[in-house]
Structure 1
Amino acid sequence: MPFALITGASSGIGLELATLAAADGYTLLLAADRPFDHALANLAGAPVETIQVDLSTAEGVAALDERIAGRRVDVLCANAGHGLGQGFLDQDFAAVRNLVETNVIGTLDLLQRVGRRMRDQRDGRILITGSIAGLIPGAFQAAYNASKAFLDNFSYALRNELHDTGVTVTCLMPGVTESDFWERAETTNTPAGAGAKDPADAPARAGWEAMKAGSAQVSPGWLNTLERAILHIVPDRAKAELNARMMRPNDKAQVHD
Structure 2
Amino acid sequence: MANTARPLAVVTGASSGIGLELARIAVGEGYDLIIAADEPDIERAAEKLRLEGATVDAMTIDLSDFAGVEKFCTFIADKGKPVDILLANAGRGLGKGFLDQDLTEALHVVDTNITGTIALIHKIGNAMRLRGEGRILITGSIAGFIPGTYQAVYNGTKAFLNSFSFALREELEDTGVTVSCPMPGATDTRFFERAHMLDTAIGQSKKDDPADVARAGFDAMMGNEGDVVSGWKNKLQSAIANITPSGMLAGQHAKTAAPGSAKE
TM-score class, shorter: over 0.9
Contact 1:141–1:247 (Cα < 8 Å) also in 2: yes
Contact 2:49–2:56 (CA<8 Å) still a contact in 1? no
- After superposition, residues 1-257 of structure 1 pair within 5 angstroms as 1-35=6-40, 36-40=42-46, 41-44=48-51, 45-69=53-77, 70-250=80-260
Identical positions, percent: 49
Q: Does structure 2 retain, via aligned residues, the 8 Å contact 1:19–1:43?
A: no
Q: Distance in 1 between matches of 2:92 and 2:112?
A: 8
The runs of at least 4 aligned residues of structure 1 exceeding 3 Å deviation read: 251-254
Contact kept, 8 Å, 2:97 with 2:150, in 1: the verdict is yes
Task: Please report how far the alpha carbon of residue 37 of structure 1 lies from its aligned counterpart in structure 2 after TM superposition.
Answer: 4.9
Quick one: which amino acid aligns to residue 65 of structure 1?
A: C
Q: Counterparts of 1:58 and 1:221 in 2: how far apart (Å)?
A: 35
- Which residue identity is paired with 1:38? R
TM-score by length of 2: 0.93
Question: Structure 2 counterpart of 1:226, which letter?
Answer: L
**Offset of residue 227 of structure 1:** 1.3
Tell me the CA shift for residue 38 of structure 1. 3.2
What does the per-residue CA deviation read over 1:64-86, in whole Å, with 9 as the maximum and x for residues that have no partner? 10011152110000000010000
Distance 2:81 2:68 in 1: 18
Contact 1:99–1:144, Cα closer than 8 Å, also in 2: yes
The unaligned stretches of length 5 or more in structure 2 are: 1-5
RMSD (Å), alpha carbons: 1.5
Q: Which runs of 5+ in 1 are unaligned?
A: none
Contact 1:7-1:32 at 8 Å conserved across structures: yes
Q: May I ask how many residue pairs the two structures share in their alignment?
A: 254
Distance 1:83 1:93 in 2: 13
